[in-house]
Structures are given as C-alpha cells and as structure tokens.
Amino acid sequence: MGWRPNSATVLPGMVLALGLTHVAVPTWRIGLQRALRQIYVHVITWSALVTAYTAIIVSIGRRVEGPAASPQGPWMVVALLVGVGVSVPFARAALLRRLETVIYRDAYDVPRTLRTVSVALASSTSTEDLRPHVIEPLRAAVGMEWLALTRGAAPYEVVAMATEPRAIVPASRQVQSAVAAVLGVGRSEVSAAVLPCELGDRAVAYVVASLHEETLGLGRADRTLFAGLASQLASFMLRVDLWAQLRSRLVELDDTARRLSDSQHLLRDLYQQVNAMLEDERRRISRDLHDEPLQKLVLLRRALGSSASGPCRSQDALL
C-alpha cells in the first residue's frame, strides 16, 4: 500500500516550503514579500484550523461508529464546514494574532528609514515637497498601496498622496472619512490605518495608509515606523505653519513699509512746496524793504531840486 498524503504530512511540508520562500525573498522586494507573507499566514491558519477540526470530528465519528471505523467523505465535509464556520469569527482571528508575533516581520530597517525621512523633511520647505521627497519614497520602501497625509483641521485637506499605478486611488471623501473615523465622527470607507500626528494634545495632521493585511493590521515594524513618522510630520507641519505665518507677517510688513515710503515721498514734496513758498515770500519782503527807502530818497531829491524860491517853499516841499 503506497503513501498517501494527509493533513499531518502536508502541513509541515507546506509550512517549510512557504517559510523558505518567505525568507528567500530579497528585502528590497518588499511588495512581493508582503504578498507572500499574506499567503503564508492565511495558508498556515486555514491548514491548522482544518486539521484541528478534522481531528475533532474524526475522533467524534470513531467514538460514534466504533474504533475500527474510518470516516471518509461526509465527516470531512462536516469538519470543513464546522472549521470554516467557527474559525471565521473566533479561532482565525486569535490564531492570526498569535502568528503575528512569530512570522509577521517586515523586511526594512526602521531606524534607517526614519533617518531618511528626517533628512527629507529637513530639506523640505513646503507641503508641495512632501509627495516627491517623503511620501512616494516611503510608500515604495514599506510596500503600501497608497499613502496619504492630511491636515488635522476640517475639511481635512489632502496635503500629499502617493499611489502605485495599479492601486485603487481613494477619493478625497474617502480619505476624509478615514480621518473622521479617528475623530469618532464617522467610519472609514477604505481599508486604511489612520495615525494622528499629534503635537501636545492637538492633532495637526493624519497619516492614512492602505493595508494589504486587513486582519493583521499594521506589523510591529510598521507601527514603529509610522509612530516615528507621525512625530516627525507633526514637527514639520508646525514648522510649515509657522513659516506661513511668518511669511504673511513679512508681506504685511512689506505693505506697511511701502505705505510709509509713499508717505515719506508725499511729505518730501510738501516740504519742498512749503520751502518754495517761504523763499518767494522772503524775496518779496527783501525787495520791498530795499526798494521803499530808495523811492523816498528819489522823491526827496526831486522835491529839493524843484524848490526854486524861498525857504518857506523848501520847508513846504520838505513837509
């Protein structure tokens, strides 16, 4: 009688094969590794659950039909149905959470990625620089379908967003709904993780990232990375807001300086006009003071010259 595979022999071989494939993937192919990890985790979960429930049903069947019985088709179908029905709400989630601590590893260096992000943020001066220098490289490094950054104030403006060409791009309304889910005022319409960028007790922005693994959520490295990213982005958003306020103040100061310059030119013109008027008045007064005594002397000489006879006439002329 030849060897026939069963769950007890197939499961270890499957685990070994998938594990070797999972480890052998180069770390720079993070997207492929995430996909293989997704298959790996779910295959192990379902195989373990089906094996466990099959063993339970087979043991019950042997007790019912006798130790010599060998349950086949019907019992296997029942075992599969029971395994699927029970594992979906309870056992599958519990097993996946347990497997997370064992095989859910991310193949990127979190400190190095955070340092790269920090350098990119330090060289960025506005939110327009976030997509090409921060969001897009980070999305490619961690293998997310799309990654978005939104402001923390309504109406949740999408500051920067990067997507793969094949990814389903969520609408701005969906991103707003994802942000609103964190605030407790709505429910996310997309498969996303929303992390607040908090500054003190105030959220200045939100990081919204799509997930391949909806059940597992963010991995340990993902959580560490996004926590550090949220902290750095909070400081960056504060710096951008302060710079925007400073720039608006500088614009106001430029307007004030321009108005003062215009006022200075106006005062200079008025000063020149007043000086011209005063100079004209000075010349007129000087002319009057100089000309009036001369006129009196001329009149006096004429009077003296025309007095031909007698002292009385001369006195009358003088008078």
Residue 308 has pLDDT above 50, yes or no: no
Q: What is the Rg, in whole angstroms, of the alpha carbon atoms belonging to the chain?
A: 46
pLDDT attached to residue 294: 66
Confidence of residue 214 (pLDDT cuts 50, 70, 90): very low
b/e per residue, 92-108, with b = 16+ CB within 10 A?
beebbeebbeeebebbb
Distance, in Å, from the CA atom of 192 to the CA atom of 184, rounded to the nearest integer, reads 15
């960056």: which residue's tokens?
236
pLDDT attached to residue 1: 46
Q: Is the dihedral of CA 204, 241, 175, 144 positive or negative?
A: negative
Confidence of residue 32 (pLDDT cuts 50, 70, 90): low
Distance, in Å, from the CA atom of 128 to the CA atom of 132, rounded to the nearest integer, reads 8
Average pLDDT on 310-318 reads 50
Confidence of residue 89 (pLDDT cuts 50, 70, 90): low
Average pLDDT on 25-54 reads 65
Give residue 306's Cα distance to chain centre. Answer: 107
pLDDT attached to residue 14: 67
pLDDT attached to residue 209: 73
Average pLDDT on 148-161 reads 73
pLDDT attached to residue 306: 67
Pick the closest to residue 107 from 231, 222, 228 (CA basis): 222
Pick the closest to residue 106 from 52, 36, 39, 34 (CA basis): 34
For residue 212, what are the CA distances in angstroms to 192, 254, 290?
Answer: 9, 51, 104
158-162, 301-305, 311-315 — most confident range: 158-162
CATH number of 110-244: 3.30.450.40
Instruction: Calculate what percentage of the chain has a pLDDT beyond 90.
Output: 0
Average pLDDT, the chain: 70
pLDDT attached to residue 67: 60
Count other C-beta atoms under 10 Å from residue 20's C-beta.
Answer: 9
Distance, in Å, from the CA atom of 115 to the CA atom of 112, rounded to the nearest integer, reads 5
Of 45-54, 99-108, 143-152, 265-274, least confident by mean pLDDT is 99-108
pLDDT attached to residue 135: 86
In sequence order, what are the residues at sequence separation of 6 or more whose Cβ sits closer than 8 angstroms to the Cβ of residue 39? 18
Average pLDDT on 100-112 reads 61
Average pLDDT on 86-107 reads 56
pLDDT attached to residue 231: 84
pLDDT attached to residue 213: 47
Instruction: Pull the structure tokens for residue 78.
Output: 């029942």
| pTM for this prediction | 0.48
**CA-CA-CA-CA dihedral for 160, 176, 168, 37, to nearest 10:** 90
More confident site: 8 or 165: 165
Distance, in Å, from the CA atom of 45 to the CA atom of 103, rounded to the nearest integer, reads 12
More confident site: 217 or 197: 197
pLDDT attached to residue 77: 66
Residue 48 has pLDDT above 70, yes or no: yes
